[in-house]
């Protein structure tokens, strides 16, 4: 009997087949990238002619996490480096089809924001226990600093942000603006605003479990503003990008000071007779 996935989705067997196909195409493109930009662009445009990247973005509503990850990563390879032919084709696809790409991304990002917010609340409660002298609370704080992701996952967020960044690579003005405002859709999803909200929550506590995603958000912010793109610049300023940058610098500075203090203390102890 054929194994079935959740209702409303493709079968589990079809999901595995699609996942393998996306993986195969991604590897071809990565091998082409190693051969140089010209070879990569040729292969990207060849797969684009077959509608491969458009199929990939249609997979964003899949319930199968492995398939979703494979589709995202293959799409990144398919547009990586700012291939204008592929970017133009995707913009045309977005504006001429009734598809749910941005709605699906909103759903994933909303879950991530909720998870990070809940994580931060839990971390704050544990810190209070630690300050009150509760040894178990202090131990849990120590464990949670670098092991938060198993509790509440940022699943797919890094690859989503990287894909959106690659869509705008090379200062593609059309996609830079379309990520902020889908003028042809009944409901427009402001992706820069959502990612700003995620970054604001994530930077409350920076650790090994979220530093990669935080770094990715700033790379994305850079790409959507280059060109320049005045409307995206204004969106980030309204969203508090300056406050966000200040917070990151302040937290990083505290970490450096703490590390320096620890090193100095160790050195002083070593110098004692």
Cα dist. 72→8, 19, 86, 166, 206 in Å?
Answer: 20, 11, 15, 11, 25
Q: pLDDT tens digits, residue range 165-177?
A: 999 999 999 999 9
Q: What average pLDDT does range 48-75 have in this prediction?
A: 91
Residue 143 has pLDDT above 70, yes or no: no
Select the more confidently predicted residue: 210 or 171: 171
Enter the pTM of the model: 0.82
Cβ-in-10-Å burial (0-12, 13-18, 19+) of 227 comes to middle
Q: What is the pLDDT of residue 8?
A: 42
Q: What mean pLDDT is predicted for residues 27-39? A: 95
Tens of pLDDT, residues 70-104: 999 999 999 999 999 999 999 999 998 766 899 99
Q: How far is CA 32 from CA 25, 35, 38, 46, 225, in A?
A: 11, 5, 9, 12, 29
Rounded mean pLDDT, 13-34: 93
153 CB-near residues (< 8 Å, 6+ apart): 115
């Amino acid at each position: 009997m054929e194994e079935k996935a959740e209702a409303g989705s493709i079968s589990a067997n079809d999901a595995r087949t699609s996942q393998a196909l996306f993986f195969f195409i991604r590897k071809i493109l990565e091998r082409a990238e190693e051969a140089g930009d010209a070879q990569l662009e040729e292969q990207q445009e060849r797969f684009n002619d077959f509608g491969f990247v458009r199929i990939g973005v249609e997979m964003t509503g899949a319930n199968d996490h492995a398939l979703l990850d494979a589709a995202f990563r293959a799409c990144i390879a398919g547009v990586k480096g700012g291939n204008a032919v592929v970017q133009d084709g995707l913009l045309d696809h977005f504006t001429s089809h009734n598809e749910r790409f941005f709605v699906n991304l909103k759903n994933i990002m909303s879950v991530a924001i909720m998870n990070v917010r809940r994580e931060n609340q839990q971390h704050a409660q544990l810190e209070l226990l630690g300050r009150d002298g509760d040894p178990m609370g202090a131990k849990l704080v120590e464990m949670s600093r670098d092991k938060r992701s198993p509790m509440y996952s940022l699943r797919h967020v890094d690859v989503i942000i990287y894909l959106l960044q690659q869509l705008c690579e090379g200062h593609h003005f059309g996609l830079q603006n379309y990520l902020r405002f889908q003028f042809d859709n009944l409901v427009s999803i402001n992706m820069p605003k959502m990612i700003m909200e995620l970054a604001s929550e994530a930077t409350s506590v920076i650790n090994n479990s979220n530093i990669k995603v935080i770094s990715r958000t700033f790379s994305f912010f850079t790409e959507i503003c280059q060109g320049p793109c005045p409307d995206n610049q204004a969106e980030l300023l309204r969203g508090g990008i300056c406050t966000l940058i200040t917070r990151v610098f302040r937290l990083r500075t505290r970490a450096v000071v703490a590390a320096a203090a620890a090193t100095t203390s160790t050195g002083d102890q070593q110098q004692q007779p």
